[in-house]
Amino acid sequence: MMKVIDEQGRLLYGKTRLSWEIAFGNKKDPVQILDPSQMFNFKMQDKDGVLKLEWKGCQLIGSQFTVTVCWKPYGEGWQGTIEYNLNTQKLYVEEVRFPVVSMPFPKDIVHLLVGNEQGWIYSFKEDAPDGKLLLQNYNSMFLTLAMTDDGNCLYIDHRDGKHTMKMFNWEKENGRLIYRGIEQMPCDSKTRKAFAVPYPSTVINYQGTWYDAAQIYRKWAIQQPAYLKRIRRNRMRDIAMWLWNRGAIDNVVPPAIKLQKDAGVPVALDWYWWHGNPYDTDYPHYWPPREGVEAFTKAVQRLNEEKLYTQVYVNGVAWDVESPSFEKDKGKDALIVNRDGTPRAIMYNCYTKRKLGSCCGEAEVFQEKIRDIVKKLTACGLPGVYLDMIGMSLQHPCYNKAHKHSPGGGNYNYKGYRKYVKKIREENPGIVLSTESLNENFLDLFESFIVLSTSMERCGAQDWIDAVPMFSAIYHGACAMFGSFALPDGIPCWDPLWPPKEKWKNEQDWNQVFPDQFYAEVARTIVWGMQPTVCNFRMCHTEGVFAPLYDYMIRIARFYHENRDFLYDGQMLNPGELKCQQVEVSFLHRATFTTEEKSTVRKRMLPAIMHSCWKAPSTKEALVMVNYTSQEQTCEFQGKSYTLPARTPMLVILKNF
């Protein structure tokens, strides 16, 4: 492997340049960027293949300021660390951007995979204008990948065992593709003077796929404490299908009981809108239940008697800034405050138009309210609670002056939310907990995670966005993963407490218009190793024109349950290539808050048979396939041909050791 350092100290790795930037600021004005070209002096040491690069002095920070980067070989790539010292100025270090990776923009198309949810892929053409392509907070996994259609891949990860706040930025600059890993820094006197970013970052060029990237990261990931302490005897393992139902008892409970009896396998109920307040409004005030404590308790008792696992919705992060308690209980002191001094408050619900403020990990007054609600729920006999948003809300820096933590970055949200969830578990022995979005930092505290990238088209993903089961390829079996927005009739649930004028006026027979959408979404959950999920399932969906769809649900639930030694316990293998017909599938983009005038139609070419490969703990290997189309389909895999009837799953043992 060629080792070349240019005159500025940038590591030249093939056609890729590896460098750094530091952003200095005063917590309010635009930051000032320092890079190697502005430093006065540079020297390098090469000892046993480890490159120690040191820059000293600059006009912005002073003649004594130093930046030190160490690069060591890592397989066919490099792994690096960065630190700085002797900042004697008043400017804080607000961001350390490392590595800054620059490469020629690939010809035709580049696919950028980022480690959020299961794994999102964004595709950009060579003629994309210069500017930001992606700027996001890292969430479920600290890795990213640039891929081209011919299999050339540039892999980058951040092996952060302290779970500090970080972002990534992909840009096109002067015809080059630039990546910046952004460590968001705490603004305090100690960190201002000197700091060593507490983890290494890895850069590797290779020929392969997203699956190969997952295996690089997996070697590190499965040695981390949250994975090693994962919930080993997870009671969610045996769930065959989830119902994501919302609303009144009579709409929610009977269809769940019927499905479990008809399928003969365990069903789980994720129950939203049981609470007295409108959805996404007036949080954290959920009590009393909409139909009263007595009716709610009887419904829970009935579900328990049927041995049907039930969890209910509580938002574990958000406080409605217009709620009466927000002013009374000094809610402003609980919220995350942005760098510009505004509270982090977002209007998710376009019908009620109320903003939900995101609470910091130090928001004890908010956390006490949620802990009290959970105690009330478990007193009614509920075995589980879904704590919304915790899994995907810890990467936002807070500048609230009422808080003890330093303003800016750090890991106080991670620490504070872990402490909060641990208290809930301690106060409610035996409780089962779930949260939104996959998160490697919480594998030891949550039994299950909901993730909706299996319904990417219905939830609004554009044609240039795709998803892959990267989290499954790394962590499968460490937790229960469920979720999709698959709607039996294509109509999301409507909260009767919302303004009636906002409701859709022109409903159609959506299964006639989009005949494969529901089936494709459910199929995707299976082949990704997730527990299948159906949203807004009611009694009317068990008969009549819905009878074929209901039969598909039952067969899918039984198939998952029968094969959970692969699909829950198993390790995802390289999927390889399955040859089959490509079909055009039409999808209606319509999620909970999609207004009628903003709905759109997506058309995608997809394989008629979705597939994946698995290795069970017994070391058996299997091919899992689902034909979600209305026609019989044939395929070829590893030289063998298979025929799948319409709307049918199939498992084939590939190796039986």
pLDDT in tens, 141-179: 999 999 999 999 999 999 999 999 999 999 999 999 999
List, for residues 401-450, the tens digit of each pLDDT value.
999 999 999 999 999 999 999 999 999 999 999 999 999 999 999 999 99
463 falls in which pLDDT band (50, 70, 90)? Answer: confident
Residue 293 is assigned to a structural domain of this protein: no
Q: Which of 358, 373, 356 is nearest to 417 (CA)?
A: 358
Asked, for residue 537, whether it belongs to a domain, the answer is: no
Q: Count CA atoms closer than 13 A to 556's CA, side-chain side.
A: 32
Exposed (0-12), middle (13-18) or buried (19+): which is 315, by Cβ within 10 Å?
A: buried
Residue 556: which H helix or E strand, with range?
helix 547-562
Distance of CA 647 to the CA centre of its chain: 28
541 touches 489 (CB < 8 A):
yes
Instruction: Report the CATH number at residue 206.
Output: 2.70.98
Give the containing element (helix H, strand E) for 425. helix 412-427
Residue 570 lies in a domain: no
Cα 211 to Cα 24: distance, rounded to the nearest angstrom: 37
Q: What is the pLDDT of residue 1?
A: 41
Q: What is the pLDDT of residues 62-98, one digit of tens each?
A: 999 999 999 999 999 999 999 999 999 999 999 999 9
Alpha carbons 318 and 436: distance in angstroms, whole number: 13
pTM score of the predicted model: 0.97
Quick check: is 23 in a domain? yes
CB–CB of 156/181 below 8 Å?
yes
In a domain, 86, yes or no: yes
Query: For 517-531, what is the mean pLDDT?
Result: 98
Can you give the pLDDT at residue 4?
Answer: 87
Q: Which of 411, 440, 393, 453 is nearest to 218 (CA)?
A: 440
Q: Which two tokens stand for residue 449?
A: 């995670």
183 part of a folded domain: yes
- CA angle 432/435/441 to nearest 5° reads 100
Between CA 476 and CA 519 the distance in angstroms is: 23
Compute the average pLDDT of residues 482-496: 97
Q: Label residue 2 exposed, middle or buried (CB < 10 Å: 0-12, 13-18, 19+).
A: exposed
**Residues with Cβ within 8 Å of residue 294, at least 6 apart in sequence:** none
Residue identified by tokens 């080792």 is 3
528 CB burial (10 A radius; 0-12, 13-18, 19+): buried
Domain that residue 34 falls in: 4-221
> Could you give the CA distance from residue 657 to residue 647 in angstroms, rounded to a whole number?
30
Does 536 reside within a domain?
no
Quote the distance between the C-alpha of residue 314 and its chain's center: 19
Q: Can you give the pLDDT at residue 3? A: 61
Residue 239 · residue 531 · CB < 8 Å: yes
Ranges 107-111, 294-298, 419-423: which has the least confidence: 107-111
Alpha-carbon distance of 21 to 33, in angstroms, equals: 7
Please state the domain count of the chain: 1
Q: Does some domain include residue 349?
A: no
